[in-house]
Structure 1
Amino acid sequence: MNEVWQATVTQWQAQSILEVLAVVLAIAYVWLATEESIWCWPAALVSTCLFTYIFWDVSLVFQVLLNVYYAVMAIVGWLTWRRASTENTLRVSTMPLQYHLIYIFSGIAISALIYQFAAHWLSYEQLLLDASITVFSLLTTVLTVRKKRASWMYWTIINIATIYLVLSTDLYLTAILMVIYVVIAIKGYWQWSLSMQAAESAGDSAY
């Protein structure tokens, strides 16, 4: 345990201002998203650009690609939420069971295909886990943009898996960030549940 703590402190001391900024903005993004604030997306855009460099430096190929995708989706999220705020058309909602099944089985199938394809060129130990986290993160980001409450449930699972992944590469600070993500994701599920209930109550009172 002392070795892990010392390694974490050493990493913190070695962090550049850009890396510290990436962590701060990443936390800001998730927190603002739980509050349904459109400003979560600019924070996400800058953070993911910085994390692209960080993961490239430790050769987590799929995490690099994932963060490039996150950057694109941050722009999509901003445009979607801004349009919805003007037209009042996008609210927190649930997903039918069949959509959950499609999400899960599609994620598993795509992860397996990507792993089989990538294994011809890449050969690091956590390749399958890295690919799976990437695929499910891609799918879950779409759910977040569409304000599906279940996205927070899936983010909780994804972040727990990511903790194991980054610990395998000794990225202790990033692991701490993922722990914070788990806590905020749980808050997000609760917060969006309240938002959904408030919207339903407002709808009922209109009649």
Structure 2
Amino acid sequence: MQHWLDLFIEQIKETTWLQWLAVALGVTEVLLARVNNIWLYPAGILGTAISIFLLMEVHLYAESILNGYYIVMSFYGWIYWIKKRDEPPVKITYSTKNEWVISLAISIIGWVVFYYLIKNLPAKYFTPSNVPGWDALVSSTAWAGMWLLARRKMENWIFLNISNFFAVPLLFYKKLPLFAMLTIFLFMVAIWGYFEWAKKLKAEGLKLKA
């Protein structure tokens, strides 16, 4: 236990100011999202852009691509919020059998595609990754979770937390301890989100029966 604690402290001491800034912006985004504040989007976009740079430095290419997608969706969400913020949100529901199949397909096919791309990235432009399978798994399951989140499906939290679960040791291994701690925080947020959505879904069901 002492060994792991010493290793963590050593990694924290080596953490750059960019990592601190990216994580601070990530926490800010989550807190602003909690109170439904539109400034969550600029905070998220800036934090994610910094994250891409840092992830590329440690050769986590699939996670870099995933974060690029986060930026695109953040801009989309920002515009959508401004145009349609007064419209009612999509209702929370459980995934259908077909949506489960699609989610698993995104995870499995996404893993294969990411793994292939990472393994075959031109060495002329990129340093080869030493964790292609792990990197691909974290990103493909997150992609499935984001697809379900966009559709307001309960199971989005399951896929996102599978991604978070495998991301934590990967980020520690790549000496990004603050990113790992942020992911642990997001893991807990996802657990809270699942039960919060379940409560809303149950209340909605009772309302329909009344």
Q: Take 1:160 and 1:37, find their aligned partners in 2: how far apart are those partners?
A: 26
**Structure-2 residue corresponding to 1:45:** 45
Number of aligned residues: 204
Cα RMSD of the aligned pairs, angstroms, is 2.7
Instruction: Rate the CA distance shift 1:73–1:26 in 2: closer, same or farther, 3 A.
Output: same
2:195 to 187, 190, 197: 190
Instruction: Rate the CA distance shift 1:150–1:120 in 2: closer, same or farther, 3 A.
Output: same
**Structure-1 residue corresponding to 2:23:** 23
SS of the residue 1:86 aligns to = coil
The answer to whether the aligner puts 1:96 opposite 2:77 as a matched pair is no
Report 1 or 2 for greater relative contact order, CA contacts < 8 Å, sequence distance ≥ 6.
1
Contact 1:45 1:74 in 2 (8 A): yes
Contact 1:69 1:138 in 2 (8 A): no
Q: Take 1:188 and 1:36, find their aligned partners in 2: how far apart are those partners?
A: 14
**Structure-1 residue corresponding to 2:168:** 163
Contact 1:66 1:138 in 2 (8 A): yes
Report the alpha carbon displacement of residue 114 of structure 1 after superposing the two structures with TM: 3.2
The answer to whether the aligner puts 1:151 opposite 2:150 as a matched pair is no
SS of the residue 2:178 aligns to = helix
**Structure-1 residue corresponding to 2:119:** 119
Instruction: Rate the CA distance shift 1:46–1:191 in 2: closer, same or farther, 3 A.
Output: farther
Q: Structure 2: state its 5+ residue gaps.
A: none
Greater mean alpha carbon deviation, residues 152-161 or residues 82-91: 82-91
State the identity %: 23
Contact 2:114 2:136 in 1 (8 A): yes
- Aligned partner letter, 1:95: S
Contact 2:19 2:178 in 1 (8 A): no
Contact 2:118 2:129 in 1 (8 A): no
Q: Take 1:42 and 1:70, find their aligned partners in 2: how far apart are those partners?
A: 12
Instruction: Rate the CA distance shift 1:14–1:169 in 2: closer, same or farther, 3 A.
Output: closer
Instruction: Rate the CA distance shift 1:91–1:37 in 2: closer, same or farther, 3 A.
Output: farther
SS of the residue 1:45 aligns to = helix
Instruction: Rate the CA distance shift 1:83–1:21 in 2: closer, same or farther, 3 A.
Output: same
The answer to whether the aligner puts 1:173 opposite 2:178 as a matched pair is yes
Contact 2:106 2:140 in 1 (8 A): no
Q: TM-score, normalised by structure 1?
A: 0.82
Instruction: Rate the CA distance shift 1:62–1:143 in 2: closer, same or farther, 3 A.
Output: same
Instruction: Rate the CA distance shift 1:185–1:97 in 2: closer, same or farther, 3 A.
Output: same
Q: Take 2:147 and 2:61, find their aligned partners in 1: how far apart are those partners?
A: 21
SS of the residue 2:98 aligns to = helix
Report the alpha carbon displacement of residue 182 of structure 1 after superposing the two structures with TM: 1.2
1:129 to 120, 131, 134: 134
Q: Take 1:148 and 1:28, find their aligned partners in 2: how far apart are those partners?
A: 25
Contact 1:114 1:131 in 2 (8 A): yes
Q: Take 1:162 and 1:120, find their aligned partners in 2: how far apart are those partners?
A: 22
- Aligned partner letter, 2:152: K
Instruction: Rate the CA distance shift 1:44–1:149 in 2: closer, same or farther, 3 A.
Output: farther
| Structure 1 residues 134-178: Cα deviation after superposition (integer angstroms, max 9, x where no partner) | 222223223223322221121111100111222322323322222
Report the alpha carbon displacement of residue 16 of structure 1 after superposing the two structures with TM: 4.0
